Amino acid sequence: MLKQKLDLYLQLVRWNRPAGWLLLLWPTLSALWIASHGFPGWHLVAVFTLGTILMRSAGCCVNDVADREFDRHVKRTAERPVTRGAVSVREALIVGAVLALLAFGLVLTTNSTTIAWSFAALAIALVYPYAKRYLSMPQAVLGVAFSFGIPMAFAAVQSRVPLLAWVLLLGNLFWVIAYDTEYAMVDRDDDLKIGMKTSAITLGRFDVAAVMLCYLLYLSIWAWALVGIVQSAIYLIAIGVALAQALWHGWLIRKRERGDCFKAFRLNHWLGFAVFAGIALSYLSR
């Protein structure tokens, strides 16, 4: 029974799908390197890596509780533990709360500025699951939630959040809209039936064009924002590699087929890794 329960909790937090927390991790680590002008030290790397995994897992618990009535009508999500009743709402919320508290414990090892910003990050994470009921572009709310590691990284290193952090957050928000729209394209038929609001539905026939525009805005903003900060040609090569991946994703989603859209979404963490690698290697080469 204990092993079965553990397996269910691992399913609940999507332990077998690391792409979710990797999408959060790469921009956060990128911000750590930029704020530190190089390697930020193992303490902060460990805090933000473990914190990212814990908070993404906690977010999955809250999301599944909020969406349990909708998820049973969607092919991809009908078998989630909370949706099918294998894990109770109370259990899922307790697991989520424990994970969030563990993440907060990590934040307590940083500084007061980071601790203060962590409450804003938590509030946005709790709001997102309900945004899908009221906003035509809930992906924008997710974009803020999935980008909030950036200002927190600057706060942990510099005890302040400069304008650069917010510019990078804006750029990253466009990346989140791009890949989460690909994700929403997978469920569009089911979401239309149950009345869920998503960017894929709102954008309609302009969905592919909008995804590509968001990729372009993300990479352009990050390239422009870091001019004079990350000067190495290595970074520009990394931006080029990321752009090539974005073009490939556009090719995958062009026909809007469910499997190809999901594949494009799942591979996005490699695009984020390319940008992070370019930043880290640029500082290393100095």
Confidence (pLDDT) at 135: 84
Query: What does pLDDT average to over the chain?
Result: 92
For the chain, the straight-line distance linking the first and the last C-alpha, in angstroms and rounded, comes to 55
Q: Is the pTM of this model over 0.85?
A: yes
Give, to the nearest 10 degrees, the angle between helix 258-266 and helix 163-186. 150
Contact 168, 31 (CB under 8 A): yes
Which residues of the chain, if any, have pLDDT below 50? none
pLDDT tens across 118-146, in order?
Answer: 999 999 988 888 887 788 888 999 999 99
Contact 215, 151 (CB under 8 A): no
- Rounded Cα–Cα distance for residues 62 and 129 (Å): 8
DSSP conformation letters of 200-244: HHHHGGGHHHHHHHHHHHHHHHHHHHTTTTS--HHHHHHHHHHHH
Contact 72, 86 (CB under 8 A): no
Residue 235 burial class via C-beta count within 10 angstroms: exposed 0-12, middle 13-18, buried 19 and up: buried
Confidence (pLDDT) at 103: 95
- Rounded Cα–Cα distance for residues 153 and 219 (Å): 20
Confidence (pLDDT) at 106: 97
pLDDT tens across 267-281, in order?
Answer: 999 999 999 999 999
Contact 71, 89 (CB under 8 A): no
Chain-centroid distance of CA 110 in Å reads: 22
